[in-house]
């Protein structure tokens, strides 16, 4: 039976980062305007979310990260600590300054679509008095999944680059 669930604030972190992403079996697509050096619980310690992504890649799970701007220096420093993210063909980054969508797709069967960027404040991984107020939906309804999967695929293939009138501002055109 298909479901759609509203998640707010810190529940986004629990339902998406802690529960949904680690259950991936084949792929994870992450689309965000902004990304920062978010830390998440792993056992008894906190680690960069990049470690979670690296672990997925090392398990043979493909990860595509779509974002609108280059991340900050702390993210880039942590990124360099995970060779799988540089060396593996299973990890891909797509930079498109027009991205404002925030979505996480797991295995093409479940999606989170909402307001938060992939940051600690956005995804509810910060102190409750420092994080953003965010909302989103988790869904496995095919009528929701199919259009967003198709749209992200068009973005990934560079189909949207062909007619983009912001191409002069794009640091890394896909096509």
Domains and CATH numbers, the chain: 4-169 (3.30.870.10)
CA 106, distance to chain mean position in Å, is: 10
Along the 175 residues of the chain, how does pLDDT read in single tens digits? 789 999 999 999 999 999 999 999 999 999 999 999 899 988 889 899 999 999 999 999 999 999 998 898 899 999 999 999 999 999 999 999 999 999 999 999 999 999 999 988 899 888 888 889 999 999 999 999 999 999 999 999 988 888 888 888 888 888 7
Residue 29 backbone phi and psi in degrees, to 5: -115, 130
Q: Do 102 and 114 form a contact (C-beta atoms < 8 A)? A: yes
pLDDT at 143: 95
**DSSP per position, 43-112:** TTEEEEHHHHHHHHHHTT-EEEEEESS---HHHHHHHTT-HHHHH-TTEEEEE-TT----EEEETTTEEE
Whole-structure pTM value: 0.94
Query: CB of 63 within 8 A of CB of 105?
Result: no
């Amino acid at each position: 039976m298909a479901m759609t669930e509203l998640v707010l604030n810190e529940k986004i972190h629990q339902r998406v980062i802690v529960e949904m992403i680690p259950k991936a079996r084949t792929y994870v697509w992450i689309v965000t305007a902004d990304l920062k050096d978010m830390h998440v619980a792993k056992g008894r310690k906190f680690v960069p979310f990049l470690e979670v992504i690296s672990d997925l890649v090392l398990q043979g799970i493909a990860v595509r990260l779509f974002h609108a701007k280059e991340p900050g220096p702390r993210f880039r420093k942590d990124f360099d600590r995970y060779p799988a993210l540089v060396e593996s063909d299973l990890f891909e980054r797509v930079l498109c300054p027009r991205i404002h969508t925030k979505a996480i797709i797991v295995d093409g069967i479940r999606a989170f679509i909402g307001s938060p960027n992939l940051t600690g404040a956005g995804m509810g991984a910060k102190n409750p008095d420092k994080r953003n107020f965010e909302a989103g939906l988790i869904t496995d309804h095919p009528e929701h999944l199919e259009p967003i999967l198709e749209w992200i695929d068009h973005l990934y293939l560079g189909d949207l680059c062909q007619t983009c009138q912001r191409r002069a501002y794009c640091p890394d055109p896909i096509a």
